[in-house]
Amino acid sequence: MSTKGGIQIIGAAKQTIREYKSSKNPFIRCSVSSLVFCWNALLNLKRLFVDTEFRSVLLLQIFNSKNVHQTTPLTYMDRYPKIFSACSDYFGDKKDLKILSFGCSTGEEVLTLRKYFPSAHIVGADINKRSIAICRRLPVDEKITFVHSSDSEIQKHGPFDAVFCMAVLQRKPHYIAAKGISSIKKIYPFEKFEKQIIELDGLLKKQGILTVHFTQYSLRDTSVAFKYEALGNYNQNDYRSPVFDRNSQIVKNPSLQNSIFIKSRK
């Protein structure tokens, strides 16, 4: 069977299912919905055993949901060159910097940061144990450390001159955009974002840099915002997902959202 033929069959099957699900006969509707539910459950059960990434994310959501932000481990090298360059310029030739990559996923961000900060001590932290296991297999130098993300574990390596939190403090952004969801109070409440920002603030030295990029909320809305001033005009204006206010309600016409902040007060 050709790929095109297979796609046509799948498309026809989906159309048939949609028709049955909208049938006027309640028995047919209920039966088809039950079959679809069971089929999806079987597919997820199969993924649980064969897909290590899916399994690691699912276990996080079940057993550590209160500490999970973004669940997708997708990343790649040199993802934010303008931001990393600006932060490197801010510190100039300062030696012995301590840098935290919070939510480092599989380590590409840490490897990238090494290029911008060649002599810094860099700690990569992630809550996903599978991701950290991958990180620990990377060929890195002795000034790079990977840790399982918890406040107590990260504190052992701080305080830090710079904390990078890139595309971490958000939840299901593409799904929320596609569905037109106007409140994420139940999906990812502002209070959870603010709590994490407060914890990161506690890890950062005065005059250090906190970079929070690609997020559904603004640092300006948090209780520690008074300690920070923006560095330059670096922002997330290329972020295509909705942003929300401190009540977790969508902001219709959001103002420019800065990404790099200098901690000017303790």
Three-class secondary structure assignment of 26-60: HHHHHHHHHHHHHHHHHHHHHHHHHCHHHHHHHHH
Tell the burial category of 40 from Cβ atoms under 10 Å away from its Cβ (0-12, 13-18, 19+).
Answer: exposed
The pLDDT of residue 66: 66
pTM metric for this prediction: 0.78
Q: Is residue 21 helix, strand or coil?
A: helix
CA distance 244 to 189: 10
| pLDDT level of residue 253 (50, 70, 90 thresholds) | confident
Provide the 3-class DSSP secondary structure of residue 16.
Answer: helix
Residue scoring higher pLDDT (171 or 62):
171
Q: 110-148, pLDDT tens digit by residue?
A: 999 999 999 999 999 998 888 999 999 999 999 999 999
Here the tokens at position 58 are 């699912």
d(CA 144, CA 124): 8
**Cβ atoms of 104 and 70 closer than 8 Å:** no
Contact residues for 31 (Cβ-Cβ < 8 A; gap 6+):
none
Mean pLDDT of the chain: 85
